[in-house]
Amino acid sequence: MGTARQIDPQKKKRPRWKKATWMTLGIIVLLIVSAVIFVNAYTLRSLPETEGEASLAALEASVTVTRDDQGVPHIQAENELDVFRAQGYVQAQDRLFQMELARRQASGRLSEVVGEATVDQDRYFRTLGLRRAAEKSLAVYSDEANERLEAFAEGVNAFMENEPLPPEFAMMNIDPEPWTPLDSLTIGKYMAFDLGGHWERQAFNYYLLQNFSEEEAYELFPTYPEDAPTVLAEKDAVDIEKSFANVIIPNEFNGSNNWVVSGDRTASGSPMLADDPHLGMATPSIWYQMHLEAPGYNVSGVIFAGIPGIILGHNDNIAWGVTNVGPDVQQLYLEKRHPENPHQFLYEDEWEEAEVFTETIDVKDGDPVELEVVETRHGPVISDYAGESGKDTLLSLRWTALDATTELEAVLEMNRADDWESFEKGLEKFLVPTQNFVFASKDGTIAYKANGQVPIYNEPDDALLPMRGWESEDEWQGFVPFDELPRVVNPEEGFIATANNKITTEDYPYHISHNWAQPYRYARISQMLEGENELTPEQFQAMQMDVKNLQAEEFLPLLMERVDPMTSLEKETLARMEEWNREDDRALAQPLVFHRWMANIEDELYNVDLSREIQKFFEGSGQTTDELLRKGDESRWVQKAGGMETLVTDAFQATVKEVSEEYGEDPSDWAWGEAHAVEFTHPLSSIGFLDRFLNSGDPHPVSGSRVTVRAAGFNSEGLVNHGASWRFVIDMDNPTESYHVVGPGQSGHFRSDWYHDQLEDWVEGEYHLTSTDDVKGDVLTINP
């Protein structure tokens, strides 16, 4: 007989539910691990191939793409068309999702993939008609330019057809349509939109005259009008606030810095050039750095994703950079509509038929939205796209960018130019947006031109307000002749600089603009250049990172003279302000106090009488505020705020209260970087937990501000969202080498090593050297 099994009474049988629980947990863990493995593999499979071989059927011969250490593609081809085919393919590798969103945004088609949230935005861009304007432009392009646009599109489409799409397409359930030349030109029109043209300020001025006395209204005009303009009687007026409730307005701080110095003032004896255009900052960067090479074509620099060529940069003989001129190229027209026929408008005592377009906006998970767009002889009616405005009086927009224009033609000619004469010849075709071009040549020439279509007004003050659409005398009188645009070649000073500042003197015969940037960046650049010789690229880089605040230099003594501190904390804060070196350094407390103080002064001046909705049309409010402070108690708006001492003191007390509540009672703990930091936000990072993958982590404290050479504009949350996402310096002693930083990096793929690899460099002011000679790195051969 067997031995009886002894049962240990201390041992208890494991409950079945515990076995089940552990089994369930094991399955869950297995599923999670499997999902992580799948997602990891799925996202990695769409990383761009940078080594080995790829195929592009449209090629005439093999092309090599060498990626340097910063991910900059250097494309070498045996002919120009293959260069542009490969450029389209490579841009799609790194930036296809950005390109997709860009063409949808500019075309008014975001709602197809986003849903109802972007319907108003789509309505506005359909109304403006950027894509319609691109169609008109495409029709006037040369055969050569069309060939290059087609070649670029062939490259983009080859990638989409043969390679895995970036993961964002799956996240948003987008099946991209083939790329077309029209898509590239539409993105170009959007860049003209982003650089603005001041119709918003005309609308604001119109609102002021409707709601305030002439004296109060004119004081907020960007220029005090010599001949007092008038508006229609109240019964005919357009309600600005209601009519434009959901309008899309570009960032008013879109600007830039550039400068060029002659060889007489450099260590190398050759000209040097610097450029840092200021636009929105996000992930991926608005700029994409490339080098394109074929027989007779060798150019390096940056371009907007979705567009062929190089828009800013250099070749073997020349270099160039731009800033925004900001001319009055947009004009609002008051239109009298027929009381019985909404498609007829009065012109010279006769009723004219408007052009009518029916647009259908498809909406994800929603019903399509039908939109009727009406275009008068001046342009689209924009005042009632979101609802009713005046009963029979509306506002239309005349804008140079809605005409047929040929910027790509200009870019191709600029890329091939070898001296100032050939470069300026190419500029004849660069019509919008109007830009301040600075130029340097290996032959020693430095030059400048404010280039583009600038309308001629009968009187400069006409550009301050909407004009009468029914009177021929209110029409533009053509455009400033190309040969009469502002121009400088080899000045005696040995340097040229622009920073969106006023560029003309009183004797210039044409009106350019009423709206210029505050002068502080330009003045500081001039300070740093005047009297300096033996300049080096390293000094130019340091200048681009300069954070001296000349606005504070001017106004802080005035503010401190008028402020009346009450509490011990206010007195301590004021004492610290006296010690400030006027630099917007992220480690200092004083910039935080100064910028908050100036913002609160604006609030005290405007918030009582101007709603937040109407203030978004107050383009250039900072410059207006400066003028009011200079006038002091003579200003009606300062008087309404209680006079200078009350205005300055109330704003200061509000500032100290806000800052102490946010950062503590000890001013030694305050720092500008705590309220001024950069993140380079991805457009999809607000979805769920994607921010941890698509953004850079905690925001990085940043020096600078809107008024320093190191431009760093910020939103109401303190996030730096505007500035120089690309910085560029070149010494023409050796034009095969140039210095760059593209924040936050070259790639739009979050798994790429080049996704955020330049973010720290951007924050700290480090540059990388790009060579167009003897390039080393990973090599991809693209075969026919």
The per-residue pLDDT for 249 is 78
Residue 28 has pLDDT above 80, yes or no: no
Indicate whether 609 belongs to any domain. yes
Q: Give tens-digit pLDDT for 330-356.
A: 999 999 999 999 999 999 999 999 999
Q: SS3 for 723?
A: strand
Pairing of strands 297-304, 312-315: antiparallel
What's the mean pLDDT in 253-279?
94
Q: SS3 for 336?
A: strand
Greater confidence (184 vs 226) lies with: 184
Q: What is the DSSP string of 570-636?
A: HHHHHHHHHH--SB--TT-SHHHHHHHHHHHHHHHHHTTTS-HHHHTT-TTHHHHHHHHHHHGGGSH
Q: Is 267 exposed, middle or buried (0-12, 13-18, 19+ CB in 10 A)?
A: middle
The per-residue pLDDT for 39 is 53
Q: How confident is the model at residue 236 (pLDDT cuts 50, 70, 90)?
A: low
Rounded to whole angstroms, the Cα distance separating 115 from 301 reads: 36
Instruction: Give which of 135, 369, 39, 387 is closest to 244, Cα–Cα.
Output: 387
Rounded to whole angstroms, the Cα distance separating 586 from 714 reads: 13
Indicate whether 535 belongs to any domain. no
Q: Give tens-digit pLDDT for 376-427.
A: 999 999 986 545 555 688 999 999 999 999 999 999 999 999 999 999 999 9
Q: How many residues does the chain have?
A: 784
Whether 142 is catalytic:
no
The per-residue pLDDT for 692 is 84
Rounded to whole angstroms, the Cα distance separating 487 from 490 reads: 10
Q: What is the DSSP string of 105-128?
A: HHHT-THHHH-GGGHHHHHHHHHH
User: 401 vs 310, 357, 405, CA distance in Å?
Assistant: 20, 19, 7
Q: Give tens-digit pLDDT for 745-769.
A: 999 999 999 999 999 999 999 999 9
Cβ-based neighbours of 474, under 8 Å, separated by 6 or more: 333, 458, 462, 467, 468
Sign of the dihedral through C-alpha 453, 455, 460, 462: negative
Pairing of strands 737-742, 318-324: unpaired
The per-residue pLDDT for 231 is 47
The per-residue pLDDT for 687 is 83
Residue 629 has pLDDT above 80, yes or no: yes
Q: Give tens-digit pLDDT for 652-697.
A: 999 999 999 999 999 999 999 999 999 999 999 888 778 888 998 8
Rounded to whole angstroms, the Cα distance separating 338 from 348 reads: 14
CB 51 within 8 A of CB 779: yes
User: 1 vs 4, 6, 11, 584, CA distance in Å?
Assistant: 9, 15, 26, 95
Q: What is the DSSP string of 146-208?
A: HHHHHHHHHHHHHHHHHSPPPHHHHHTT--PPPP-HHHHHHHHHHHHHHT--SHHHHHHHHHH
What's the mean pLDDT in 528-544?
95
Q: Binding site annotation covers 328?
A: yes
User: 369 vs 362, 372, 529, CA distance in Å?
Assistant: 6, 10, 55
The range of the structural domain enclosing residue 624 comes to 550-582+589-670
CA atoms within 13 A on the CB side of 222: 29
Element (H, E) at 402: none
CA 492 vs. chain centroid, Å, equals 33
Q: Give tens-digit pLDDT for 765-776.
A: 999 999 999 899
The per-residue pLDDT for 388 is 53
User: 638 vs 393, 476, 629, CA distance in Å?
Assistant: 35, 37, 8
Indicate whether 616 belongs to any domain. yes
The per-residue pLDDT for 532 is 85
Residue 234 has pLDDT above 50, yes or no: no
Indicate whether 497 belongs to any domain. no
Residue 640 has pLDDT above 90, yes or no: yes
The per-residue pLDDT for 3 is 46
Taking residue 434's Cβ as centre, other Cβ atoms within 10 Å add up to 26
Tokens of 432: 């919008």
Indicate whether 627 belongs to any domain. yes
- What's at 684, amino acid-wise? L
Q: Give tens-digit pLDDT for 144-178.
A: 999 999 999 999 999 999 999 999 999 999 999 99
What's the mean pLDDT in 587-597?
98
Indicate whether 101 belongs to any domain. no
Q: SS3 for 731?
A: strand
The per-residue pLDDT for 16 is 54
Residue 713 has pLDDT above 70, yes or no: yes
The per-residue pLDDT for 693 is 87
CB 338 within 8 A of CB 399: no
Tokens of 2: 């067997």
Cβ-based neighbours of 614, under 8 Å, separated by 6 or more: 204, 207, 240, 241
DSSP state for residue 473 in the 8-state scheme: G
Domain count, the chain: 1
CA dihedral 446, 496, 251, 727 (to 10 degrees): 60
Q: SS3 for 567?
A: coil
CA 298 vs. chain centroid, Å, equals 27
Rounded to whole angstroms, the Cα distance separating 440 from 312 reads: 13
Cβ-based neighbours of 31, under 8 Å, separated by 6 or more: none
Indicate whether 629 belongs to any domain. yes
Quote the pTM value: 0.93
Taking residue 614's Cβ as centre, other Cβ atoms within 10 Å add up to 18
Cβ-based neighbours of 667, under 8 Å, separated by 6 or more: 569, 572, 573, 576, 589
Q: Which of 243, 256, 285, 738 is catalytic?
A: 256
Element (H, E) at 43: helix 16-45
- Residues linked to residue 110 through DSSP beta bridges, in sequence order: none
Instruction: Choose the weakest-confidence range: 30-39, 129-138, 417-426.
Output: 30-39
CA atoms within 13 A on the CB side of 638: 20
Q: Is 689 exposed, middle or buried (0-12, 13-18, 19+ CB in 10 A)?
A: exposed
Residue 17 has pLDDT above 50, yes or no: no
CA atoms within 13 A on the CB side of 178: 10
Q: Give tens-digit pLDDT for 59-75.
A: 999 999 999 999 999 99
Rounded to whole angstroms, the Cα distance separating 191 from 198 reads: 15
Q: SS3 for 61?
A: coil
The per-residue pLDDT for 363 is 98
Q: How confident is the model at residue 233 (pLDDT cuts 50, 70, 90)?
A: very low
- What's at 427, amino acid-wise? L
CA atoms within 13 A on the CB side of 724: 35
Indicate whether 103 belongs to any domain. no
Element (H, E) at 341: none
Rounded to whole angstroms, the Cα distance separating 106 from 101 reads: 9
Tokens of 257: 């810095």
